[in-house]
Structure 1
Amino acid sequence: MAAWLVVGLGNPGPTYASHRHNVGFMVVDELARRAGAGFTAPRGMRADACESRLTALGMGAVGADAQRVVLLKPRTYMNDSGAAVRKASGFYGIDPAQVVAVHDELDLDFGRLRLKFGGGDNGHNGLKSMRADLGTGDFYRVRFGIGRPPGRQAPADFVLTSFPTSAREELALEVDRAADAVEELILHGLESAQNRFNG
């Protein structure tokens, strides 16, 4: 069965865990939680990985429609994410066309999702690194809106700040919704997922 590789883009370590730039990690963590599975660090992979199955009953379930899903959180920093993704895709035998990158998106308001296949990097260093290391930009993206920085704050600084405490409850709901979008994409395809979740 063809496997899927779902990559959460972010920076490793507790310092970055709550940052806007790390919503990809948050979504992948939610998918692992649903699967009841933990992450391990396969030797030489430079990433934390978790294998599971996805069916219409959800992550971790078994059934005739089961899709093999590998969840990945690179241990490299954002700018070098592609190295970990390339190693993982080779290790698990997954084609770039079966890769889903979940990442923060400045050009979408907080609370909005946009799913697509291929396209440019839009200044996102994690996507740029993936494109360079995979040799193609033809992979799926789940773009998680974080909005633009207020005032004159530089985008590079803004993405490395935490969501405000007042937004924590809404953030949990949006992370949950993004995880639903990943499941929909894998089970029912891009068009179905776009119709349900693109906003």
Structure 2
Amino acid sequence: MADHPLTVLVVFTVSYWICMSWMFTQCERYNGRFTADHYYLNSLWFVTVSFLSVGYGDIVPSTYCGRMLAITTGIVGAGVSSALIAVISRKLELSRAEKHVNNFMADSKLTNQRKNAAASVLQQTWFIHKYQRSANKGDDLRLRHHQRKFLNAINDFRRIKWDQRKLQERGNSLLDVGKVGKNF
């Protein structure tokens, strides 16, 4: 189960369906009123539907033996479904190394964005300085335009810096969880 959980679950499920279908057929066949509803394929259908917790109601057990098999099949089906969900979620979860790579890539991207935002702040500061010194009338509009860009660049810089802090905190918590796991 540890090495190949999906294969084990599939083999168990199929063999369980086959065995329980045969048992259900035998339980319902010898109740004194044998009908075509309880042939093996119909029993397989019933067990599968009960296992998956669907329960259409088209085939219903009439003996206590069949009812007990239906209850058992439903309980085992719920357990196998839970195990299947756990296996799938474990396969989809990133390993610690993959999380470190993702954090590293996100950090390098944010670092580049931070450098570009800082350069934009400096660039707009230079334009503001340039147009404040100018005596031309059209330069007032340009000055206001660059002042707006300057404020936007500062806002972007702060947002990127905040995103970097959050990313570092997530990375630190990932390392802390790894250290705690080693101590136990």
TM-score (norm 2): 0.20
The structure richer in strand per residue is 1
Pair member with larger Rg:
2
TM-score (norm 1): 0.18
Q: Which has the higher contact order (CA 8 A, sep 6+)?
A: 1
